[in-house]
Structure 1
Amino acid sequence: MYQPAITGSGVFTPEQVITNDELVAAFNAYVSRYNAENAAAIEAGDIEAKAPSSSDFIYSASGIEQRYVMDKTGVLDPGRMFPKLRQRNDDEPGIMAEMALDACRTALKAAQRQGSDVDLVICAASNHERAYPAIAIEIQQLLGAGGFAFDMNVACSSATFGIQAAADMVRAGSVRCAIVVCPEICSGHLEWRDRDCHFIFGDVCTALVIERAEDAQGAYFTIRSTRCATQFSNNIRNNNGFLRRTRPDGTSDRRDMQFMQNGRKVFKEVLPMVSAHIGDHLGEAGVRADQLRRLWLHQANKTMNDFIGRKVLGREPEPGEQPNILQDYANTSSAGSIIAFSKHSDDLGDGDLGLICSFGAGYSVGSVLVERKDSA
């Protein structure tokens, strides 16, 4: 048995940014157009008028100030309201693989590794641009990696579930060096015309190198233990798939083919589930909450994270104990907790403990207990 460790991390951040003010201006222009075009039906009571959004509403509801996207022109076009992403030819790298390559190279550089050192690639993300061949196998080829690769999807918990899978294989000796990569193009699956959710998501890609601790070339984080759980719920759902794409009448503008959630039920049901999950994980690992130096939580909503932090620690988290990147990146699904880890872990010292936790559709929740080591 070998000790698995995170030896490198990387984040690919798109160049384009949409601020709340920009988003609201486009959304409200769409609302004005919709209400004008449907004035008669609205007057007759057949449909409801759409309400405008505001930057204050977005920030108070989520803590989000901006989001990075692969394309902002399509999103901000009131007559379109979804990104313009070029269709790739079959002999070109896919957009997810392209994002992944950047994040993987950064993670490999941090781990002082080459692509040829990798013998497992897991592409763990909420949405994949095709059913097959696996995105992970394409990434494997672009990296020049060996071994094998596969895709996995556990929605916003994809990264932590991927970490557990990779860590287990490193521990067992079936692989020596793995990459868990999370290319998330959430902008392509968000309904930008829905006031309740049009502000939630952004695009990004993260990557982690996981290998035997004995092979680490510098400082690293041992993966002391992992814990995953799922419980079925329809409160967060996306019906976009290869079996159903149209209504019976042949039209395809189906609202349920995009991100949907019942926010109130999610808050009520997920928060206690996650808090109990973390508490149980720490108890099984023999770790007290006051021994944790850092919580890297899924970046879905500031109120949710604040609640979980208080519940786990039994007090208000101190500055730096529970870093948020939500205000800059918005919700990036599986990548959020890994962005927080990548950007807020270098200051920890030898022996410091931290916990990565994700949660989302499924319901799913995954946690990874790590310990900083200065050298192998």
Structure 2
Amino acid sequence: MPLEHALQFRGRFPDSGAWKLPRSQPVRLSEPLGIGHLPAQRVRRSKRKPYVFNLMVVGDSGLGKTTFLNSLFNAPLSSEDAPRAPLSQTATVDIRPQTYELIEDGVILHLTVIDTPGFGDKLNRQDDFQPVSDYIESQYTKYHECERSDEMRKDIIDTRVHALLYFIPPTGNGLRDLDIEFMQRLCTKVNIIPVIGKADALMFEESSAFKKMILKDFQRNDIRVYPTFHSDERETVAEIEKHMPFAVIGSDEFIDAEGGKKVRGRMYRWGAVEVENPKHNDFVFLRDMVIRTNLQDLIETTHTIHYALFRSSKIRGSVVGRPESIIASDEIYDQQVEGAQLNAKAEMQRKEDELKSNFVLKIREKEQQLREREEALKAKQIQLNEEIERMRMQLDV
């Protein structure tokens, strides 16, 4: 523990041993003190400050995104003050944030809906991703600058995108290349929630098969969507995943349901489709996840995962070669040691190969010298034999 403490604080503080709270001793109260009211106090304090939730909506035109949002928040969120330009005049994707104040039981929610008209409307869609990605990163940059400012740090206005609803057209043929590339690029920057728009265009069997195709495309292309990845509400993930991707419909019209009740829905020749009927679509499950069960988790995961990744990259980029953490320092040290060992091993191998080659060369030179001596001796022996034979012939005469 002391060594870990020293490594963490790099000697800036004296060694305090194990930096944990002292072991608490249970005490039996003779009478109530009111500790049980602490959660209620936190609830009252939390209601004083409005909650902030920023929702981006991305998808092709004509998928009913605006109508769906009106149904999701049960309020007319569509804005008529900024009419959309004709398709022929659309040069790039337009980013349009619009903020609304929703009040329920004393809780105030500042909801910002970021629409992206023009996405996927042109034949050449290679530039449609960049405006969305730039907007998300620009909000991270603004938040990071406020954190570094002593004046702004106490009251930072959170404009970061907490969730991105990506609308998939009901083609029934799996994800398009546009869908795959977009979600691959942004799934590490923001919580992407896949949504099949205008799901009433698909039969139940077609919708089920389409969902299976999309899930296979997610796994095949390593697309990390929410809440399967990043969510801390693990006890609700399994139930939510049964309905992913969410096949939804939206409607601004109210129709008569059973019992004379007015509900949001659409009337067709073959019957009616109710927006909030779980037998007709997944609208209820998506609304419960985004608002009732996982809204706070979406905000927290944006800060602790996506923004933290952005912030760490900025910090590492400000100092060249700066490690991300002590563990990263240990990894760098291990890599350096391993590299030195590999270099030493390579140098030893080189020297060994050099000695072997020199030894072989000397052996060959020695063999060549011996071969030459042997040939010289053979030639001298032949010469002596010839002289002996000549002398013997002279004696015989």
Question: TM-score, normalised on structure 1?
Answer: 0.24
Question: TM-score, normalised on structure 2?
Answer: 0.23
Which one scores higher on RCO, CA 8 angstroms, separation ≥ 6?
Answer: 1
Structure (1 or 2) with the greater strand fraction:
1
Larger radius of gyration: 2
Structure (1 or 2) with the greater helix fraction:
2
